[in-house]
Chains A and B, each alone.
Chain A
């Protein structure tokens, strides 16, 4: 062959063509190859975090980049058809299938790690995917609240915790090499009901209905636990407003979140929100301070970061790299908000943004519509 074409000499229009066939995030690697390849493909500036907008029976996966205020769409991986999204952490999504199989999937790398099926859960009578309102102590497709897992999972090295069961929240864990889910409890944590789980710095932080916080270490043969915060038996004070424990237990959803500098936050949110009552003390935030009793200190700023909570490992998002983006806010994705539409009451999952500094609701900067299914925070990674 006297004039064999070479890849490095590909004409511009062919390079553009190939570049455009790449999923958007992968175009960055294409552009970084050499100057010709760089100029052939438009820049990729899609800052993290993204919001995965969940549609029903859709063939595509739509993401919204919060800092870029731009949506973009991928064709859906076959593994993501008809799934329920139950978790998200550092580039990976946890997904649940109707047959109670569960996987971790990196949608950008198209890689998948199968976790043990929920059919291996102990002490639970299992129901199939058809039962939307499972009786107590029965496990169905709809029982899973969220799955939290350690970052950088591989088939040979993963640790995951599932929070499930309504209204009683149980926690269960699975590790690489195991073939089943095990109840996560130690002698000092029996008979607890849990509301939120967060992974941070090698430990799973779990908060109970009574606002106790435990840190479980699952790296050893059996779990070990540290008490991070005891239940505030006298309630919690948020500046001039006191909430007794009975109200904390009954009318507030509890969230744990962590800033990029490792500070732990407790967020209380009224379980059911309506725009008429959106306001005073519907959301309160405390910072962990082990030197105080109770160890939660009310805060009215988040140190220029915002906290993103929902069906994900909580994310701390610095406004520094995203000019114009709100700071000192908490973003909720799965807060049920009651609205009146044509005289009828409707419950939707709106993105609710709460400005901690101002102590009030902030309009979302992005085109965030109410959704029937809550969207999921996602921080892209192809590592």
Chain B
């Protein structure tokens, strides 16, 4: 079934996304189709308004995280033609990824799992922006990453671009 198809009874096709923590999000097909993963899945099984397909999601996508992804998909399904055009859409995107680092990570995973390329772009950019002015030590601390380099190995990496570590 393709995007925007109306069923004979006039109801729009719907799909239910169910998170591991038990919440259900009912969305229309245009919204679901923003996700490559859902689009593929639904093209095989189909869905309708009377008997919407329920899709369970992995535990890493909590209801709070899915809320963000759905918000993104709904807004982008509507496109730039509504509510102030492209400029408003860009502003929406910017504000959507103003998240704390754990939430940012969760949404990045969700965007990758659900295959929402532009949302993944946005979150990756937000992560990059967050760390871009940090030193190596700050980046490690921020993400809780422990260096597994030997002293010698780290020296080699740093020598690639010595001025970045001045």
Give me the interface of A with B, judged by CB distance under 8 Å: 1-8, 10-11, 13-14, 17-23, 25-26, 28-35, 37-38, 43-46, 48, 91, 109-110, 379-383
Contact = CB atoms under 8 A, between A and B. Distances in A.
Given A18-B128, A22-B128, A7 B145 contact: yes
Interface of B: 20, 59-60, 62, 101-102, 105-106, 108-109, 112, 120-121, 124-125, 127-129, 131-136, 139-140, 143-149, 153-154, 157-158, 160-161, 163-166
A299 B109 CA distance: 63
A29 B128 contact: no
A9 B52 CA distance: 35
Given A7-B143, A29-B134, A37-B145, A45 B60 contact: no
Contact of B145 (A17, A34, A45, A383): A34
Contacts of B121: 17, 21
A21 B128 contact: yes
B131 A35 contact: no
Contacts, number: 120
Closest 7 CB pairs of A and B: A21-B128, A28-B161, A7-B143, A28-B164, A383-B166, A32-B136, A17-B124
Contacts of B105: 5-7, 10
Contacts of A5: 60, 105-106, 109
Given A7-B143, A35-B149, 10 more contacts: A8-B145, A14-B108, A14-B124, A25-B161, A26-B128, A26-B133, A28-B158, A34-B147, A34-B148, A381-B166
B144 A6 contact: yes
A46 B131 CA distance: 20
Contacts of A110: 133
23 contacts: A1-B59, A7-B105, A13-B112, A14-B109, A17-B120, A21-B127, A26-B131, A28-B157, A29-B139, A31-B157, A32-B136, A32-B157, A33-B140, A33-B145, A34-B147, A34-B149, A38-B149, A46-B161, A379-B163, A381-B163, A381-B166, A382-B133, A382-B166
A33 B165 CA distance: 12
A44 B133 CA distance: 16
Nearest to B111: A14
A141 B129 CA distance: 34
B127 A382 contact: no
